[in-house]
Amino acid sequence: MWAAIKGFAERHPRLTAWIALAIGMVAILLWSARDVGLTPSQLLALVIATIVLAGLCVWIISWEDEEEETGSPGQSSKG
């Protein structure tokens, strides 16, 4: 089972990062909002928004990875 999870994480690192970040962010959200008195539909909307935000964070962070692979535009080779 762990080998399958490790293989999935190696094949899909960004998706794995999104899942892990979303789980952590949703856990913090639910813990923080436990005594606020939100309705279930409000809480569901916040959870969905948090999952989307986690995906956007991973996507933005991946821009740096792509720049490192291709070389940043505007960088001179005079280093």
Instruction: Kindly state whether residue 59 falls inside one of the protein's structural domains.
Output: yes
Instruction: Kindly state whether residue 74 falls inside one of the protein's structural domains.
Output: no
Closest by Cα among 45, 46, 63, 55 to 22:
55
Is the per-residue pLDDT at 79 higher than 50?
no
Instruction: Kindly state whether residue 44 falls inside one of the protein's structural domains.
Output: yes
Instruction: Kindly state whether residue 39 falls inside one of the protein's structural domains.
Output: yes
Please write the tens of the pLDDT for every residue from 21-46: 999 999 999 999 999 999 999 999 99
Instruction: Kindly state whether residue 56 falls inside one of the protein's structural domains.
Output: yes
Instruction: Kindly state whether residue 77 falls inside one of the protein's structural domains.
Output: no
Is the per-residue pLDDT at 65 higher than 60?
yes
What does the alpha-carbon distance between residue 54 and residue 39 come to, in Å, rounded to a whole number? 23
Q: How many domains does the chain have?
A: 1
Task: Determine the straight-line distance between the first and last CA of the chain, rounded to whole angstroms.
Answer: 46
Instruction: Kindly state whether residue 71 falls inside one of the protein's structural domains.
Output: no
Instruction: Kindly state whether residue 79 falls inside one of the protein's structural domains.
Output: no
Please write the tens of the pLDDT for every residue from 2-19: 898 889 888 999 999 999
For residue 24, the enclosing domain spans 2-64
- Give the least confident one: 22-31, 44-53, 63-72: 63-72
Is residue 48 very low, low, confident or very high in pLDDT (cuts 50, 70, 90)?
Answer: very high
